[in-house]
Structure 1
Amino acid sequence: MGRMLPLLIVLAGLGAGCQNVKTPVIAFTDDGDYLGYKGGKGLVASDESPIPDVPMPIGFKPVVSKSSSSFDGNVRTVNHVYQGRARHADAVAFYRNILPIYDWEFVSRSDQTDGSTIQYFTKGRESLEVFTRQGTLMQNIDSSVTTIVITIGPRA
């Protein structure tokens, strides 16, 4: 016990000095896939986006259980959900800035009372809705996960 006492004192002292240190958050998608930490500010388009003209940000993963798509020969019907570790504001800015590069025309933006954002775009016969919010679909809480819902359908 004589040798253990100094070790306990040192460990207790280290713990006391770590009060302002943030504990890393481990995050998962609604499907249970691990989401690694994305450092830095801003988002970049992934080369592996499921929709070629609506990129998914690097570090985001598709939530397959909540995603679907079809094509009737004229217009796509798409409902894709992506989740990743990023700030909500970065996800909103990502789509606002990158979609015009893919010929999507910005129509409007609606900031919801729950903190989520919906952006509307059009291209040809299609309309696109990009819903973003901080948190997962299963938890309406502030978290390190941002959820993006991409909806493409016929233009009204």
Structure 2
Amino acid sequence: MLTMLQSPPQAIRRAGSYFLLGTLCILAMLIAGCSSGSSMSKLIASPNPPVADVPIPIGFHIDLSHSQSTYVPKTNLRMVNQEYKGSDPRLSVARFYEDNMPGAGWKTISLQGSQRIVLNFSKAGEICTITITHGWFHTHIYVVIAPMGATTTQPAP
């Protein structure tokens, strides 16, 4: 009967091995959970975007210190230069605009980039350029709307 009991150092080693194995399993599940599908999650449009015909993903907020808009009612001319910050990945945000801008009446002209994604759209004499970048703590969305043919500068990320 006494031969079946383990010595204390052997029991401690076995318990330590089980603890290490359990910790590694939990860590592996956390890593797998964080990376599975999060880079292309489906974003939802905010119900009240600052510019009615440019959808903004829920969770992104306008940075008023880096945004300005001008509208001339007599000519329906508008100039928009806005920055938004949020936490969703760049590729999910790019997919959001590819999916949602046509529903707001915009026609896709071009899409380019990987680290800095630039999407260009046109609508009724206007060009909308959406630039998506990743900063230290946020994903940045820059929205520029200008009359077609106007020379505009892209915001610096």
TM range (shorter): 0.5 to 0.7
- Does the CA-based 8 Å contact 1:75-1:125 persist in structure 2? no
2:68 corresponds in structure 1 to 68
1:6 corresponds in structure 2 to none
Rounded to whole Å, the distance in 2 between the matches of 1:74 and 1:62 is: 23
Rounded to whole Å, the distance in 2 between the matches of 1:41 and 1:121 is: 23
Rounded to whole Å, the distance in 2 between the matches of 1:51 and 1:82 is: 12
TM-score (norm 1): 0.67
User: Aligned pairs, how many?
Assistant: 119
1:25 corresponds in structure 2 to none
Pick from 103, 110, 113 the counterpart of residue 112 of structure 2.
110
Gaps of 5+ in 2: 1-18, 32-37, 150-157
Matches within 5 A, 1:1-156: 17=23, 20=27, 41-72=41-72, 73-111=75-113, 115-135=115-135, 139=136, 143=137, 145-156=138-149
Query: Quick one: higher RCO (CA 8 Å, sep 6+), 1 or 2?
Result: 1
Q: Which amino acid aligns with 1:91?
A: V
Percentage of identical aligned residues: 29
Name the SS of the counterpart of 2:46 in structure 1.
coil
Structure holding more helix per residue:
2
Instruction: Tell me the alpha carbon deviations over residues 21-64 of structure 1, each in whole angstroms, 9 at most, x when there is no partner.
Output: 68xxxxxxxxxxxxxxx9x9221100121011001110111111
- Does the CA-based 8 Å contact 1:125-1:154 persist in structure 2? yes
Rounded to whole Å, the distance in 1 between the matches of 2:99 and 2:106 is: 10
- Does the CA-based 8 Å contact 1:125-1:155 persist in structure 2? yes
Bigger radius of gyration among the two: 2
Query: What is the Cα-based RMSD across aligned positions, in Å?
Result: 2.5
Rounded to whole Å, the distance in 2 between the matches of 1:41 and 1:74 is: 36
Gaps of 5+ in 1: 1-12, 23-37
